[in-house]
Amino acid sequence: MSGDAMELTIFDELADANTAYVRDGGHHMVPVRPSRRLAVLTCMDSRIDVFAVLGLELGEAHVIRNAGARVTDDALRSLALSTHLLDTRSLALIAHTNCGVFDPEGTIDDRLAATMGRAPASRDWHTFTDPRQALRDDAERLLAWPDRPDGFALAAYLFDVETGALEEVVAPQTAPAV
């Protein structure tokens, strides 16, 4: 089987899993508004099982994911919808150890070019050299975010991918009124 054919089988596996999920009654409706009024911004890293790590159930939180758990314009877009239309009031910002956008050498463009065979499109990759400082910087951006709702609370954590433990980097706090 060619590499392309093998990679396409993943979609058959996904379809089969969905059929079993529906057949076995795995799906149940929950309200669109998260019952814990919580949003979580974390990395796209597949080693982070957000619901298990935080002891959450389906329907209790919105989960926003991107490379590096960074507070990007798109993350803020999702957070604005979550807070203003769906009533979330707290945000847990969770980065992790051994992250792929940790880039102390400033070589992410070179590393991407090596795998792409050409220079990547120019963009801000939101890399960092210190994950704790990146969390503090992103928390400051959120606390100053002009679209935050009154009473918006946040905390920031570093997830250790080896132990599963969360380290508090920014203590829980409520943003000043807008």
Residue 78: which residues within 8 A CB-CB, separation 6 or more? Answer: 62, 64
Give the C-alpha separation, 70 to 113, whole Å.
Answer: 22
Closest C-alpha to 148, from 159, 157, 139, 161 = 139
Same domain, 13 and 35: no
DSSP letters along 133-148, please? HHHHHHHHHHHH-TTP
- The token pair that represents 157 in the structure block: 């954590």
> Domain limits at 3?
1-29
Same domain, 3 and 38: no
Evaluate whether 126 touches 73 at the Cβ level (below 8 Å).
no
**pLDDT tens series, the chain, 178 aa:** 566 666 779 999 999 999 999 999 999 899 999 999 999 999 999 999 999 999 999 999 999 999 999 999 999 999 999 999 999 999 999 999 999 898 888 888 888 889 989 988 888 888 889 999 999 999 999 999 999 999 999 999 999 999 999 999 999 999 888 7
> Is the pTM here over 0.85, yes or no?
yes
* C-alpha 111: how far from chain center: 23
- What total number of domains does the chain contain? 2
Same domain, 16 and 68: no
Same domain, 97 and 140: yes
